[in-house]
Amino acid sequence: MKDIKVLIVDDDLDQLENLKSIIGGAKGMAIVGAFSDPAKAMDSAPKIEFDVMITDLAMPGMSGVDLIRRVRNCCSDVEIIALSAHDEITIVFNALKAGATGYILKSSTDKQVIDAVSEAARGGSPITPKVARSIIMDFQSEARDAALQLSPREKEILRKIETGCTYKEVAEHLNLSAHTVHWYLRKVFEKLHARSKQEAVYNAKKLGLL
């Protein structure tokens, strides 16, 4: 099995040396580039054959997010791990939206760094558990916020659906057209991230709306 070729970018020289020591000493991994200047890393990336890039986010000149975006544009088949001291959800999402396929904190152990590189090389998405939890909590918060915006009419229709009423029966009970019931339910599906009546009812119950 060939070695995983790794490109490292970090403007903190001590951190850069530490990453070189961790990854360079790992079995099955080879460092093919290590840069403290993100601009130089960007210039070199298209000329280097690598599988995984691990980059700091807070760097002067060119931010890590900008570097991720540019590397993703020129080297679409590589894996990119963002390395940061921060777990704020906005920073995490900015890195992931730019093209990062993993996100680990600088507090990660040597083993966690090595495991993250290995997982990324296998096509996985290594994310520090604390960061993964922040992402989940943010999604759940968005879902709750959207659900709480259900109108009284949308809740009324959903309650009828819960009892087993068909669209036609809901329309008759509420003196609406079938088309109007469909329209309301499409809005409910969007707000509850549901793809069916059953899923909409289930999500609504989970959020305490029914």
- Return the pLDDT at 157: 92
pLDDT at 116: 96
Q: Are strands 79-84 and 52-56 parallel, antiparallel or unpaired?
A: parallel
206 pLDDT above the threshold of 90: no
DSSP character at residue 27: T
Alpha-carbon dihedral 9, 13, 19, 25, rounded to 10 degrees: 120
| pLDDT attached to residue 143 | 64
Exposed / middle / buried, residue 203 (Cβ in 10 Å: 0-12, 13-18, 19+):
buried
Tokens in use for 183?
């329209």
User: Residue 123 pLDDT > 80, yes or no?
Assistant: yes
14-49 per-position pLDDT tens digit: 999 999 999 999 999 999 999 999 999 999 999 999
Residue 145 has pLDDT above 70, yes or no: no
Residue 133 confidence (pLDDT): 85
Cα separation, 34 vs 20, in Å, equals 8
The pLDDT of residue 115 is 96
- Provide the pLDDT confidence category of residue 150 given band limits of 50, 70 and 90: confident
Higher pLDDT, 202 or 82: 82
Q: What is the pTM of this model?
A: 0.67
Average pLDDT value for the chain: 90
pLDDT score at 131:
87
The residues facing 84 across adjacent strands are 105
Domains of the chain: 4-130 (3.40.50.2300), 140-206 (1.10.10.10)
Checking if the pLDDT of 146 tops 70, the result is: no
Which residue has 């152990």 as its token pair? 109
Which band of pLDDT confidence, cut at 50, 70 and 90, is reported for residue 142?
low
Q: How far apart are CA 171 and CA 176, in angstroms?
A: 5
For the stretch 58-111, pLDDT in tens is 998 899 999 999 999 999 899 999 999 888 888 898 999 999 999 999 999 999
State the average pLDDT over residues 152-171. 91
Count other C-beta atoms under 10 Å from residue 31's C-beta.
19
Q: Name the percent of the chain lying above pLDDT 90.
A: 62
pLDDT over 80 (residue 139): no
